[in-house]
Amino acid sequence: MKHLLWSVILGAVLFTAGCGPAYGGRGYGYGSSYRTSDSYYGGGGGYYDPYYGNREPYYRGTYDNRSHREVHRDLEHDATRVEENYDKGLRRLDRQEQEAREKAARRFGGNAADPQYHESLDKIDRKYDHKREKVDNLRNKGYRKLDREHDGYHNGW
């Protein structure tokens, strides 16, 4: 009878306490040190500010712990990538345009007096000028994005 009473009490305690997730809420088998809802960090939600010790979100809701130099280094790296992609796109367009011109020359026998050959070359010029404008717009879009990131970083000071 005594064991039955203790079993009922233990069962009631476990039932009222509830069972938490078996793997820290993530299902990967990590302990509670990987959870954001740890009591050490003050519970779940929000962002922890180690300087002020509060849970208010940082500017735009994220904390960037990189130094000023590291941020500018990363922005410069991203700008280099934008320029590399621009150069790659232009090289591709130059190659494709050259191939299109060679195809037109083969088709019309390279006859400069043929008006259809000139029309074909004009069409190729228009097509690849338009494509170059699109590549220019992509490069400008990339730089505008970097400018916004840079301004956002400095406005967060």
pLDDT in tens, 35-94: 444 444 444 555 555 555 544 444 455 666 778 888 889 889 999 999 999 999 999 999
**pTM attached to this predicted model:** 0.55
- Who contacts 124 (Cβ-Cβ below 8 Å, separation ≥6)? 97, 100, 101, 104
CA distance 8 to 10: 6
- What is the Cα 45 distance to its own chain's centre? 23
Distances 94 to 72, 87, 89, 128, 131 between C-alpha atoms, Å = 33, 10, 9, 8, 10
Q: Could you tell me the pLDDT band of residue 11, with boundaries at 50, 70 and 90?
A: low
- Who contacts 135 (Cβ-Cβ below 8 Å, separation ≥6)? 86, 89, 90, 93
CA-nearest of 34, 61, 33, 37 to 49 is 61
Residues 110-141: tens digit of each pLDDT: 888 999 999 999 999 999 999 999 999 999 99
